[in-house]
Chains A and B, each alone.
Chain A
């Protein structure tokens, strides 16, 4: 041990607690312990009586009030003179193992004390509505914390160097709760309750209405891109279904972050195809000399409906020889606006890029452009071999100012253009919490700009960080139109997955503008519906139009699309036949084919597309682990979106199906998914 350390260590010995302070702390802890356990017993059967104290604190559980009196740390006392922050901790029991999870984490909701005004506790209808749904409580409180922003997303208060092992994440959520309590600038107390009821949408609003003091005019700063779930189509009326593939994974990570924080995700944040495509699958790969990817079709029984079947279309991209890959030009476009200050944003971003750097080769080049107020080139194009230079530039980044998103993008594309040589791949990697608040704010206008830039051959990847003002809609618009992917990074292990394990796929496209078109045979199939891909629908005629943009497939990645089909004559047919029109257009083809699958794609950089086609036959393929697991995730996603077509099939079935199809799961992603299903089951009360 060096002298300096020894010096430190000696100094440490001086730090022993004052005996009186120790006694006081222990007494305080015991008191809270008693309050906590009394309250738990009292609330086991029914909501506790309210209003043991009039005034603006009416309805705070007595334990909470006691704690208000006993918590007297310096900062807290100073803050209480102007601000009252009330955090509530909500608990409930899961049935499986009697462990306790935190429900909507206690976000401090601060409100100036109205001097002499009437009781501040007047829950508006709006609030009651929010209270009646657990997810809304969390979302809402998260959004309502006014400036100065002291809130942190719970679950992210810990150092970013985090293992996403579920145990850790759960503990983190716990820690976040303490964080919430302590960071609330005023003492706040866990109001322990058995909250099984709040987890269901029918939760009694009255129980909590008095606790939550939220300004009704809360700005909603999270925006998600989604469309209504694809409806069931009648094959005879509309036999052709066309869509673009989607290799984004952002939605799954957003869903995970919501569930880990103890609330069900906003249904609009759930994009089923992105959840399915989050997982690596081992679908049959193309042989050398074939097309860059290979589709495999499997027809299997629908788990949630005995009268229908699933057509499972799996596309596996080839893994080209990595040794011969062309040099990469990467422009990191980093959002350093004030909102990026949270530890799960800029600090996590730095760590993530550090991980990624180790995957690059000496001949690759890296440049860093930031945008915050004004855009700037922080690091000129630098060879990846100059590691320390790149790292120190990363380290110097500091959050502050507002976001000039457009100026930053323009500069990043300009830098990327400057770096480009023949045969090299240029990519702009945009890292942001999606808060484009200066310059361009309209996703449509940004889209137009990116579309123009796409022509120059530069790819764009979007990495989302943090929650609270995550603008998923803008991220989607950028990635979809910039020939790129969107991923959401909530933990360092997610960064590991996206930027290390799957870096090759993320950075090296093997096929551009991949479109899928399926024509169903009305003689065999009465109805069909596409699960997910709502935001990727294309017009029928766009399939053959090479100027219409679509998704890219990266090296070694896989893409899955699932149709639910109802055979002619099945009891599960939803649409009755018409009274005034004969069942016109009798099927002319007596083939037993269920349908015809067509794929179009372009070689990277090419302008003309190629076509691949294969018939879909009954009982095609084999429902292996990969097929069944992706089906379980499709079901899970539908449950999170409301499960309109799932009948009685619930989380328990999804868990059973997923558990039975985990396979090798070398990275543990599938195990984690099962954990999330269990969390969602508990949170939804189903």
Chain B
């Protein structure tokens, strides 16, 4: 007679299964799912917003809304793809909100204020990053933020943004062009 061992190997369960269980009210499943993705989510938020403070706010907002939102996840995409889509959309809303406060920086809002704040808490490299990313048009920023993720392929980034793989590749070429131009300008200055 075999005994069924009632231990659920949470760490082995895939995201989509956990998400389905969480939808049904499984606390544990939700907790492991979010813990598993929190760092990556924060990283993406950071790249999308450009400052630690904004990234923290954005991550928090997403975490707060996630329990309700999770019911909209129907397993048709990978969980991470879905989560990133949520993050990108939330970041857009955030940018738009700030854009209405200060229109200085082409939709990315009062980045100047954020940049000054960010100077105090982040190292110079991140400051440069903030400026560099701020100068990019929105869709390029999103694309860059996604593709800088270690395991993110162009195809997956395309899925998140709802565009084709080819578009992502083209956008990345554009990003490089922009960055090069920016770099050249800095060298001159």
Of A11-19, A415-423, A616-624, the segment with at least 4 beta carbons within 8 Å of chain B is: A11-19
Please tell me if B56 contacts chain A, counting CB pairs below 8 Å. yes
In the complex, what residues of A have CB within 8 A of residue B64's CB?
Answer: 28-29, 32, 67, 70-71, 187
Interface string of A1-15 (1 = CB under 8 A from B): 011110111111011
C-alpha gap A17/B38 in the complex (Å): 9
Contact across chains for B59 and A161 when beta carbons are under 8 A apart: no
**A168 at interface by CB-CB < 8 Å:** yes
**Residues 31-80 of B contacting A (Cβ, < 8 Å):** 31, 34-35, 38-39, 42-43, 46-47, 52-53, 55-69, 71-74, 76-77
Q: Inter-chain contact count A-B, CB under 8 Å? A: 208
Encode contact with A along B151-173: 1 for CB under 8 Å, 0 otherwise: 00000000001110001000000
User: Contacts A33-B30, A182-B61; is A161 near B76 (CB within 8 Å)?
Assistant: no
Q: How many chain-A residues does the 8 Å CB contact rule pick out?
A: 72
Shortest C-beta distance, A81 to chain B (Å), equals 15
Contact yes or no, A185 B123, CB < 8 A: no
CB distance from B38 to the nearest CB of A (A): 6
> Contacts A70-B64, A183-B96 known; A175 to B38 CB distance under 8 Å?
no
Check A608 for interface membership: any CB of B closer than 8 A.
Answer: no
Whether A26 contacts B90 in the complex (CB less than 8 A), given A15-B55, A74-B57, A182-B65, comes out as no
Q: How far is the CA of A30 from the CA of B27 in the complex (A)?
A: 8
> Are the CB atoms of B47 and A2 closer together than 8 Å?
no
List CB contacts (< 8 Å) of A351-373 with chain B: none
Contact yes or no, A17 B161, CB < 8 A: no
Interface residue stretch chosen among A151-159, A282-290, A516-524: A151-159
Q: Does the CB pair A75–B97 fall under 8 Å?
A: yes
Given contacts A30-B27, A171-B72, A171-B77, A15 and B62 within 8 Å (CB-CB): no
* B172 nearest CB neighbor, chain A only: A5
Mask of A589-609 contacts with B, CB within 8 angstroms, 1/0: 000000000000000000000
**Interface presence of B13 (CB below 8 A):** no
Contact partners of B47 in chain A: CB under 8 A? 12, 15
Minimum Cβ distance to chain B for residue A295 (Å)? 40
Tell me the nearest residue of chain B to A190, going by C-beta.
B68
In the complex formed, the residue of B with least CB distance to A25 is B63
Q: What is the bound-complex CA distance between A178 and B90, given in angstroms?
A: 7
Return A87 CB to nearest CB of chain B, in Å.
Answer: 10
A125 within 8 A of B: no
Contact residues, A484-536 vs B (CB, 8 A): none
Q: Which of A28, A148, A185 contacts B60 (CB 8 A)?
A: A28
Q: Contact check, B183 vs A4: say whether CB atoms are below 8 A apart.
A: yes
The 10 A-B pairs of least Cβ separation, nearest first, read A174-B72, A4-B179, A175-B89, A190-B68, A33-B67, A15-B46, A73-B57, A11-B125, A17-B42, A29-B63
Given contacts A91-B71, A168-B162, 11 further A-B contacts (CB under 8 A): A4-B176, A4-B182, A21-B56, A32-B64, A36-B67, A75-B98, A152-B96, A162-B162, A178-B65, A179-B89, A190-B68
Residues of A within 8 A of B (CB): 2-5, 7-12, 14-18, 21-22, 24-26, 28-30, 32-37, 40-41, 67, 70-75, 89, 91, 99-100, 102, 148, 150, 152, 157-159, 161-163, 167-168, 170-179, 181-183, 185, 187, 190, 192, 343
